[in-house]
Amino acid sequence: MNLTPIQIWLIIGMSLCAIELLVPLPTFLIAGAMGVAALCVAVIALILPLPALQIFAWMVISGLLVMLSRRFIPRDSHQLQEAREGITLTAIPAGETGRVRYEGVSWKARCDDSRIEITAQQKVIVLRREGTTLVVVPENWLQ
């Protein structure tokens, strides 16, 4: 079975859009933007039969749609509340980062006090979020 470039782009586009809708992990609209771009390239493939130009068009359209989709993603997660508990998955060396499980998700984390080392499997208090990094302190630090 030989597929035409239009059919391939349609399959890619529908697959990426389905991933955006069906996968429980948030892709932050990236898979959806790439899927919509692939669907657009399927239409463009009617005019541009050159695969290299189709791939270039997909990259440009995907990039533009991803940048435009950034405005629909909230800056702060409503689920990330102040002073909540987590547990370290890995040790957090003094002044460095480690991994913390917070609300069932693994986050990169660092200790608020750069002189303190936190061991693995230790309860921590989440103070705040800085980008994709949680700032934590050990549970016993407050006492």
79 is a domain residue? no
Predicted confidence band at 37 (pLDDT cuts at 50, 70, 90)? very high
134 is a domain residue? yes
Q: What pTM did the predictor assign?
A: 0.54
CATH of the domain at 132: 2.40.50.140
Residue where a domain stops, chosen among 72, 107, 126 = 72
Q: Residue 15: pLDDT above 80?
A: yes
Residue where a domain stops, chosen among 38, 72, 106 = 72
Residue where a domain stops, chosen among 72, 92, 118 = 72
Predicted local distance difference test score (pLDDT) of residue 103: 83
Q: How far apart are CA 39 and CA 93, in angstroms?
A: 47
Q: Are residues 113 and 56 in the same domain?
A: no
94 is a domain residue? yes
40 is a domain residue? yes
Q: Are residues 34 and 67 in the same domain?
A: yes
pLDDT in tens, 50-108: 999 999 999 999 999 989 987 776 665 554 444 488 999 999 998 899 999 988 889 99
How many domains does the chain contain in total? 2
78 is a domain residue? no
Domain that includes residue 93, residue range:
84-142
Helix or strand or coil: residue 45? coil
Q: Are residues 16 and 46 in the same domain?
A: yes
